Structures are given as C-alpha cells and as structure tokens.
Amino acid sequence: MLPGLPPLAPFRPRLLQDLRGYTRQKFALDAGAGITVGIVALPLAMAFAIASGLKPEAGLWTAIIAGFLISALGGTSVQIGGPAGAFIVIVYGIIERYGLANLLISTVSAGVLLFLLGWLRLGTLVRYVPVSVVIGFTNGIAVLIGLSQLRDVMGLQVDKMPADFFSQIGTLSSAIGSFNPYAFGLAMVCVLGLFLWPRLWAVDSQFRRQLDSVQGISALKATSRVPAPVVALVSLTLLAWALRLPVDTIGSRFGGIPQSLPVFQWPAFSWETAKLLVVPTLTIALLGAIESLLCARVADQLSDAPKHDPNQELMAQGLANAVVPFFGGMPATGTIARTVTNIRAGAVSPIAGIVHAATLAGVVLLAAPLAMHIPLAVLAGVLLFVAWNMGEWREFARLKQFSNHYRLMMVSTFVMTIVFDLTVALELGLVLAFVLFVRRQSHLFSADIDSHTETSVEARLFGALFFGAVAKLDPLQRLADTAPPGLVMRLDARQLISLDTTGLDALEQLHRSLSKRQGRLVLHGLNAQPRSLLERSGFSKHIHLEDPAPV
C-alpha cells in the first residue's frame, strides 16, 4: 500500500460469514430457493443470450459459472448473478461492430476493472451516478429490448438484425410481409400468461378462494409454486410441438444446445483491436457495477440478511466476468428479478445461489436435447415481459413533480439510449449531471456587500466558492480594481463552507488588486476547510485572518 492512500479492501466473501452457525434448516431453505430460482433462470438465460446475438448456451453457462462465482465470492447473502437484460443492447452492439472475440476481450477487461474498483474501495463511487440518469437509460434499454424481440414475436424472416434503432425499424418494416401468425400467437399467449399467472394464484384472488373451498385437488394447488416463465416455456413448447406449428425453434436456428461441459477457449487477442475496446470495456464495467449494486440495495431492503459489502461485491463481479468469457460466456451482473425470487423463496445465504447454479448445470447436462423444441417466439415473449417490468414507466408521469434539471437528464438519457447507444447516453447523462450540478451549486453561493465607504468594504460570503461560482466575486473585484488608496476589504467568511483552488485564485486576485493601491484583504471567521487550503497554499501569510469573537 502506498503512503497516504486508504487501505485496500480485504477479500472477505459473505459466504464465510454466513457459514458460521449454518444449520440443516437453513440449508433446506437455501436448497428450495436455489432450485426455484434455477428453474426461473433457465428460460431467461437462453433468451438474454439469443437477444444479444449469441447462442443460447452462452447465457446458460454464464448463469452457471458466473452465478456460482458471484454467490460464492460476493458481498451479499441472497443476490443472484448471471446474464441480465441490461447487457443485451451493449453486447449486441459490440458483436455487431467488433465481433465475438472482441466481446470476450472486453468482458475480461471489464472484469479486471471491476475487481480493481472493489479492491481500491471505490464501490461507493457508483452511487454518484444520478438516479435520473439510471432511470433514463434503464427505460431506454427496455424499449430497445422490446424492439429487438419483434422479429421473433412476429416470426419475420430476417437473417440478422442491425444494432441501431432506425436500421432496426427499417429492417422490420421491410420484412413485414413474412409475418407469421402462429409465432405472434405464441408470443402474445406467453406475455398474457406471464401477466395472469401470479395474479391467478394470489391469496386474495377469486380463483384462489374458490379453489381453496374445493377438496381433493392439492396437486392443482401445488402448481401455484411453479414460476410463470417455466409454465409458459413448458406448456407452449408442448403446444407448438404437438400441433407442429411452423415456427422457428432453438433447434432450427442454432441446432440445439450441447449436452456437455463448456471447453476453455483463449480468445484471439491483439493490441491493435484492444485499443478500440476502451469505451465498450468501460461501458460493460460501469453498467455491471451499477446493476449489481442497485440489485444489492434492493436485496438489503427485502431481506433480513446483513447489509451488502459493495467493495467485496464488485471484486466478485470482476472475477466472474474475468473468468466466464474463457468458457464462451457473456457479461454478468446482479439480477433483480432472480434475486427477488430467491428472497421470496426463502433464501438465507449464498448457498442458495450456488444451488441455483448447480440446478442449471444439472438441467443442461440432463435435458439439453429437449431445448431444441423451444419456440423462439416464446422466449421473445418472455423478454417482452422482462422489458416491460424492467422499465420504470411511472417516472414519466411523475416528471412534472421534479425540477427541469431532473427532467432534462432523464429524458435526454432516455432518448440518447434509444437513438444512439448506451455508451453515448451514459456519457451525455453524466456530463449533463455535472454541468447542471455545477450550475445549481453556483446559484447557492453569494457575495453580499453590506457597506461600502471610501476606506472600507464589508461583505459576506455564503456557500461554496468553487470554479462554478467565482463569477459572483466580480462586483468585489471591480471595487478592488478601482479602489482608493488604503481601502480595507473585509469578508465575513463564517458561512463559507468550502473553497477550491479556483476560488482561492479569485481571492488572490482581490488581494493583488488591493495591494497595488496599498489596501488589504481581511477574512473573518474562516471554517476548517477554507483555512486549511489557505494555509497549505501559503496565501494565509499575505492577508489578515480574523477569528470570530467568542459567543
């Protein structure tokens, strides 16, 4: 560790803490939750990979390997990691522009960066991203996910979808003549089923109350525990297979899923291409950090488990993303839907996440041949439902309750995400957040002149004197430039809470102008931070500092 730097974060997975006093009862809860969330993750993992331009097994092995590593090494007790909908747009764009090999390199590099962020205790920096920016690009991603699924929802004969918004619209419009009503029907029934299934079995639903009054149908009641995506996947796959519906399936497009363990692969690497991947790498790392820590905060609110360790979580996310590309995987992060499912199913420790990974591995190794019959329209319907739930659409209706700054950041990030890409949207959102923050903070600073005579000027400073607010000192600077000989400018700095080097330079300008006319600058009642900067710069030796009178 270098002198003056904070200590590096210790590598302490939450699993080690949760295993102390671990009991059979806790394992029973974790096993049940892990199996449940593993079944839920099965269709989602395949759907996310296909929507990202990859083969379905890429999503499955990401969910298995990354899910295991994130649970075993992470800083939360109940978070589930794996492929996420938020990555679909950025992954598809990277593959379209740079190719699969460079996606793997970007993911590994992003994993290293995530690990360093956690190791250097920078996990809390992710919280500096404004919520308006997060909502804007989340809603934008949801729109793009929905748009990308229209090809399979409508069964259009399109060999490859482009990555940008307007090209996608043009491609879909030109292929509308190949509309497949069977695919569209499967997708719509899937979406409707995903919407109705949990409401059908809700405790206060009319159907549930009537069913509870009937005896001898406990087997039917037990189906209420089956997750909606699994019901849709199994039932609609059987329907399409039994009726021999003319729709695209995993088998017809990808040839099925290999019934074997993934093979270690070293991606083709060159420094020439690596130089082009800086922006994609930063985007994957930033998006992964934001998604995982937001998910961890949601888990903290819903679970009684100890609060998450953001630095340990980022280190685990980094290791998972650095490892999984060598087995043909895609970027991974914390997933809110699966984490909430895990918590509601009774999970109490990271063992549930490990069981989830083992469940997926077992299903892949034992039942992979059956996956070839899954209609792509059904997976597209699942993703349409995911995209709808992913977006925070009510925030648009609430915009009138917030400031113009908030509206500008959210709407511009949303539009830029759709029209351009996530990278540009994040950059614009963060730049806007910075500019608007500086503008707002500059309005909070003031330099009020209380009195002005031939021999003295009395003024008060309020707020933070920083680079965005130094223009507020211009009236004082004009007085100093035209001051009569011997003028004393006394600034009451008791309400000056912060000072940066640009503000210090503005005070030095006042001092120089007054000194040229045999005047002097007096600062009264400096607080700790401004006084420290003046002393470290040596400026305090050239002016008169007054301490406030004791109360």
- pLDDT tens digit string along 24-69? 999 999 998 899 899 888 888 999 999 899 999 999 999 999 999 9
Whole-number pLDDT of residue 27: 93
All residues at 6 or more sequence positions from 473 whose CB lies less than 8 Å from its CB, including other chains: 447, 465, 506, 507, 510
The whole-number pLDDT of residue 213 equals 65
- The phi, psi pair for 464, rounded to 5°, reads -110, 120
pLDDT value of residue 224: 67
DSSP codes, 38-51: HHHHHHHHHHHHHH
Give residue for tokens 């001898």.
Answer: 216
Q: According to the model, what pLDDT value does residue 2 have?
A: 47
Please report, as a single letter, which amino acid is at residue 194. Answer: L
Q: Quick one: pLDDT at residue 222?
A: 61
Separation in Å, CA 420 to CA 124, 167, 542 = 28, 11, 53
Give pLDDT < 70 ranges for the chain.
1-6, 203, 211-224, 269-270, 422, 548-551
Beta bridge partners of 375: 249
In this prediction, residue 203 carries a pLDDT of: 66
Burial of 263 (0-12, 13-18, 19+ CB in 10 A): exposed
- Angle (nearest 5°) at CA 257 between 255 and 258: 110
Distance CA 14, CA 23 (A): 16
Query: 523: which DSSP letter?
Result: E
Domain-wise residue ranges, the chain: 24-389, 397-442, 445-546
- CA-CA-CA-CA dihedral for 183, 62, 197, 233, to nearest 10: 40
**CATH fit for domain 445-546, picks 3.30.530.20, 3.10.310.10, 3.40.50.970, 3.30.750.24:** 3.30.750.24
Please identify which residue in the block is written with the tokens 């809860």: 29
Alpha-carbon gap, residue 290 to 333, rounded angstroms = 9
Measuring CA to CA, how many Å separate 35 from each of 2, 338, 342, 361, 377?
A: 46, 12, 9, 11, 26
